[in-house]
Structure 1
Amino acid sequence: MNIETEQLSRYKQGGYHPVHLGDKFHDDRFTILHKLGWGSFSTVWLARDNAEDERYVALKFVVADLADSNEIRILQHICDMSRSTKHPGFDHVLGLLDHFKISGPNGNHDVLVLDVLGPSPNELRDRHDDGEVFVWKHAKVISKEVSLGLDFLHKIGVMHGDLHGGNVAFSLPELNGKPEDVVVGFLEPPRTYTVEPSNDPSQPAYLIEPSPFSDRFMDEVLLAGSQIMWRMKIFDFGSAFLADNRPKEIHTPLFVRAPELIFNALSSGTVELDWGPKIDVWSLGCLVRLGFLYHTID
């Protein structure tokens, strides 16, 4: 059976933490409501914050192998610098609300508490009949806001390192204060797949496909045009780094990867080329030309 979820084999020592709908975390403060996504090093879930009336957040569970993750340090640096750097691009970067640790059958995990984001421009185009036209009409605004976010990051010494169409998304209108059934209803109903055998504590009892935003959400919320104040946000800082702490290699997707990174990989490390903010700028150029504006190319 082909299902679009993380690999079950990654639920092992050092890997993903098993999460189920209805699970509670951080002294029962957060209740899992739905699944938002997954990546090579994390799963992301919609949760209700029980400490505040009808507040909703995204919980990002990082694999145990990345305990004390660099992403938290980067996000904390962004928050700290935002207080002293009055830059409009801060509004276009997903910030860290909180974080905590959990211990599970596969090790110790960092859990990031983040704002809930909407679909990416790619998802909007792929999922909705009017999405292509919407992205085309707002391509300049989308490009400008992502550029502002990237400029802010570079001004405070942060390189994203993984800027592509899957790591930018529309912000959502205010969710807090809405009834839970309304917020959950913005997503398609969860599709679950039972895991066999289901008695292995390192694995979840079932896998869940991340649900796309529902047609009702697209029609009534995002595509309402000027009636809704959305912003583009850059997110996922798992590959990010500070200018004075450059990693030895970085794995930006090939279609937006700067030549320096490609040539450095081909040289097998025998030639170390200088790279920094410009690798993000190259990715941004590819994203604007082939992503947001690709439909204007004959």
Structure 2
Amino acid sequence: MSEPQSPAYPKAYESDEVMDSDDDIPEVNGPSIRHRPHPPATSQGTYSFSVSGEIEELERYDKGGYHPVNLGDRLGDGAAGGRYRVLHKLGYGGFSTVWLCRDTQDHRYVAVKVFAGYASRDNKRVSEADLLAHLPNNSSQPGAEYIARPLDHFSLQGPNGTHQCIVLPVLGPRVSPSLWHEMETENDCGVILKKMCRQATLGLSFLHENGICHGDFRPANILVNVDAEKLNRLSEDELYGLLGPPWVAEVFTESGAEVPDSTPKDLIYPADLWKLRKFLTEEIRIVDFSESFLMSSPPPNLGTPENYLPPEVLIWNLELEKELASRTDDDGAGILSTAAAMAGNCPVGPACDIWALGCTLFAIRNQVALLYMIPEGDEMIAEMVEHFGKLPAQLWAKWDARAEYFDEDDDGTIIPRTGQEDDVTDDEGTIDPRTGQADDGCEKEGRLEHALNDKHQIFKMYGSNPIKEFSIPKDEQKVLGDLLYKICVYNPEKRPTVQEILSHEYFRT
């Protein structure tokens, strides 16, 4: 069966098309130049009127950086220059860009993840396919079905270096935040979210049972599965009809010369995957194993965002920052030797995944982050203490900034100095955040209980009544709170295994 003729690409909307045209701009040394103010140019003299945060940095298109991908490019091996034809963009990250492609050999839609050149030189980061090869094929182990396995992998040579690429199934949006109010289902979205919590836990259990730590376990790396069979029935015209044309930000040069080969002609905004909502299922897939590692070979540190890092790693990071800051700027060798000496002492291991799982379960079920991303590590630890109580003595003593956030009585009791709302009495009893134990006689409820009790609502513009609302039932709040207190234990050696978590009452009801 031959691949059908590809349609003409729909007109791509330019993000700066509302600005003045070039009609009246004079020629200067050849090509016309836009003489309006523009963002700072990159080291290669390129710039774009793109929206920061919604698109990758143009500066990253350089030696060792991203590979320049344009709509219509052919990637991979095969006839006509490559098996995978680029249709749209799905997203980007610190180490890669991800593209919606047509597999011209198997006549299906796929996601092609193209790693940056420097990531492709890093043995830890290019090993996604090799790492996942440690997992048994066609495994009947529970949780295996929730891992997004590569369909293919290859490398490509470009102006910015050699880039490793993996081919994955097309998947939907992340499981949190906002999933609840985008769902179009006759089922209770709370039931679906709880089911996704169990699936995510099973998926992590499968990894751990096969000797792999995910290393970056969080909602951004847990995506809603797509019904591939239904999606693949769409023609490319029908797919564009759903997604709409790609929005692009054209790339220019300060000199007016052609854009260099190292840079794409346009920066492309990611597709809105909610437009594929009718193809979404009630299952999840765990993705992005660029930070994953074998339990037998832990890395020197983790690249996980701080609000999913456990306290022992946060404290270690602060100690490293303090030590490096004590070095003079010209003592480069000393800084490197200090970092190298301390690297092997970072407490990285399965317990880090367990802490991240606790934060992730809260985020999936409650549709907001448990700990908000704060760029200051000390503030992150303070927020953690407000949720789960005082750190153990050893960690507490290592936290130099503790007095900035808490007063401490002679008996060791701590009082927040941050002006947080007072705890309130819970007549029904709750979990004591200071001990992590269930206690019907507990006089005060902790911040975690307040967070679990949040009600989320959506209103129409100028409307007074919510058109949709979401909250966790009271009885479920108690059971989930108990589970989270058991998971988010400060001592990593006392955190439960994933199997123990799966046996908790929360997953049995």
- TM class by shorter-chain length? 0.7 to 0.9
Q: Which moved more, 1:54-63 or 1:114-123?
A: 114-123
Q: TM-score, normalized by length of structure 2? A: 0.53
SS of 1:211's equivalent in the other structure is coil
Whether the 8 Å contact between 2:178 and 2:367 is mirrored in structure 1 is: no
Aligned match of 2:195? 141
Partners of 1:73 and 1:251 lie apart in 2 by 16
Q: Please tell me the residue identity of whatever aligns with 1:263.
A: I
User: Would the alpha carbon gap of residues 105 and 294 (structure 1) be closer, same or farther in structure 2, given more than 3 Å must change?
Assistant: closer
SS of 1:40's equivalent in the other structure is coil
Q: Please tell me the residue identity of whatever aligns with 2:238.
A: V
2:263 is the counterpart of 1:203: yes
Higher RCO (CA < 8 A, seq sep 6+): 1
Partners of 2:299 and 2:344 lie apart in 1 by 15
Partners of 1:127 and 1:38 lie apart in 2 by 24
Aligned match of 2:174? 120
Whether the 8 Å contact between 1:192 and 1:206 is mirrored in structure 2 is: yes
Whether the 8 Å contact between 2:216 and 2:304 is mirrored in structure 1 is: yes
Deviations 1:128-158 (A, max 9, x none): 3769x96533121010000010000111111
Partners of 1:203 and 1:263 lie apart in 2 by 40
Partners of 2:343 and 2:232 lie apart in 1 by 52
Q: Which moved more, 1:4-13 or 1:82-91?
A: 82-91
- CA drift of 1:86 comes to 3.1
Q: Please tell me the residue identity of whatever aligns with 1:272.
A: N
Whether the 8 Å contact between 1:188 and 1:213 is mirrored in structure 2 is: no
Whether the 8 Å contact between 1:161 and 1:280 is mirrored in structure 2 is: yes
What are the ranges of 5 or more consecutive residues in structure 2 without an aligned counterpart?
1-48, 321-341, 369-451, 455-509
- CA drift of 1:201 comes to 1.0
Aligned match of 2:72? 22
Q: Please tell me the residue identity of whatever aligns with 2:94.
A: S
Aligned match of 1:221? 279
Partners of 2:130 and 2:290 lie apart in 1 by 13
User: Would the alpha carbon gap of residues 184 and 88 (structure 1) be closer, same or farther in structure 2, given more than 3 Å must change?
Assistant: farther
Q: Please tell me the residue identity of whatever aligns with 1:67.
A: S
Choose the corresponding residue for 1:239, options 285, 288, 291: 291
2:347 is the counterpart of 1:191: no
User: Would the alpha carbon gap of residues 40 and 156 (structure 1) be closer, same or farther in structure 2, given more than 3 Å must change?
Assistant: same
Aligned match of 1:158? 212
User: Would the alpha carbon gap of residues 272 and 221 (structure 1) be closer, same or farther in structure 2, given more than 3 Å must change?
Assistant: same
Partners of 2:194 and 2:142 lie apart in 1 by 17
Whether the 8 Å contact between 1:121 and 1:292 is mirrored in structure 2 is: no
Aligned match of 1:96? 150
User: Would the alpha carbon gap of residues 150 and 177 (structure 1) be closer, same or farther in structure 2, given more than 3 Å must change?
Assistant: same
Within a 5 Å distance, the mapping from 1:252-263 to structure 2 comes to: 252-263=304-315
Whether the 8 Å contact between 1:36 and 1:210 is mirrored in structure 2 is: yes
Larger radius of gyration: 2
2:363 is the counterpart of 1:290: yes
Q: Please tell me the residue identity of whatever aligns with 1:293.
A: N
Partners of 1:270 and 1:15 lie apart in 2 by 25
User: Would the alpha carbon gap of residues 251 and 25 (structure 1) be closer, same or farther in structure 2, given more than 3 Å must change?
Assistant: closer
User: Would the alpha carbon gap of residues 297 and 66 (structure 1) be closer, same or farther in structure 2, given more than 3 Å must change?
Assistant: same
- CA drift of 1:83 comes to 2.6
User: Would the alpha carbon gap of residues 61 and 126 (structure 1) be closer, same or farther in structure 2, given more than 3 Å must change?
Assistant: farther
Partners of 2:347 and 2:259 lie apart in 1 by 50
Q: Which moved more, 1:232-241 or 1:249-258?
A: 249-258
Whether the 8 Å contact between 2:109 and 2:232 is mirrored in structure 1 is: yes
User: Would the alpha carbon gap of residues 141 and 8 (structure 1) be closer, same or farther in structure 2, given more than 3 Å must change?
Assistant: same
SS of 1:37's equivalent in the other structure is strand
Aligned match of 1:225? none
- CA drift of 1:206 comes to 0.7
Whether the 8 Å contact between 1:260 and 1:275 is mirrored in structure 2 is: no
Whether the 8 Å contact between 1:125 and 1:135 is mirrored in structure 2 is: no
Deviations 1:218-262 (A, max 9, x none): 2x333xxxxxx5421110011111111111111211111111211
Aligned match of 2:61? 11
Q: Please tell me the residue identity of whatever aligns with 1:244.
A: S
User: Would the alpha carbon gap of residues 151 and 93 (structure 1) be closer, same or farther in structure 2, given more than 3 Å must change?
Assistant: same
Partners of 2:70 and 2:128 lie apart in 1 by 28
SS of 1:19's equivalent in the other structure is coil
User: Would the alpha carbon gap of residues 29 and 123 (structure 1) be closer, same or farther in structure 2, given more than 3 Å must change?
Assistant: farther
What are the ranges of 5 or more consecutive residues in structure 1 without an aligned counterpart?
223-228
Whether the 8 Å contact between 2:100 and 2:112 is mirrored in structure 1 is: yes
Whether the 8 Å contact between 1:264 and 1:271 is mirrored in structure 2 is: no
User: Would the alpha carbon gap of residues 144 and 185 (structure 1) be closer, same or farther in structure 2, given more than 3 Å must change?
Assistant: farther
